[in-house]
């Protein structure tokens, strides 16, 4: 039987690896998703609770933390705009997809983003 956090990781993995030039590595004992060798998302257990971590603009980080109790400033990297979302009460996957896409955009190189735009136009 698959546990709740394993189910969340499976869905998170699907969202992250669908983005161009994404890789998954294990660092600090948990999965990290990278683009161009830079982490844009992680799935970690902090103080006994599973969470999805991602990068946000500082104002967006503050808004999430101030308006939704599921969010907290990520330990160690919060000063760089990272925020974590607790998963214990369920996950809004549309919201996660939007937050991960924004984190990817903030992290990916200009070359990767340009290639992503070009491939998106070719699909239309």
120 found inside a domain: no
The reply to whether 121 falls in a domain is: no
- Inside any domain, residue 67: yes
pLDDT in tens, 22-76: 999 988 788 999 998 999 999 999 999 999 999 999 999 999 999 999 999 999 8
CATH number of the domain where residue 34 is located = 3.90.1150.30
What are the DSSP calls for 50-68, one per residue? EEEEEE--HHHHHHHHHH-
Q: What is the pLDDT of residues 104-117, one digit of tens each?
A: 999 987 877 776 66
Looking at the 3D structure of the chain, how many domains does it have?
1
Q: Is residue 53 part of a domain?
A: yes
Euclidean distance between CA atoms 101 and 19, whole angstroms: 8
Q: pTM of the prediction?
A: 0.87
Separation between Cα atoms, residue 82 and residue 90, nearest integer Å: 20
Q: Domain range for residue 79?
A: 4-110
């Amino acid at each position: 039987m698959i546990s709740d956090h394993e189910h969340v990781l499976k869905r998170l993995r699907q969202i992250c690896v669908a983005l161009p030039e994404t890789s998954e590595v294990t660092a600090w004992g948990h999965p990290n998703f990278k683009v161009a060798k830079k982490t844009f998302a992680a799935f970690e257990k902090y103080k006994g609770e599973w969470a999805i971590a991602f990068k946000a603009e500082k104002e967006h980080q503050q808004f999430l933390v101030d308006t939704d109790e599921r969010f907290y400033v990520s330990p160690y990297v919060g000063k760089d705009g990272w925020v974590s979302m607790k998963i214990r009460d369920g996950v809004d996957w549309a919201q996660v997809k939007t937050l991960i896409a924004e984190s990817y955009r903030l992290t990916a190189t200009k070359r990767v983003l340009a290639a992503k735009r070009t491939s998106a136009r070719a699909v239309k």
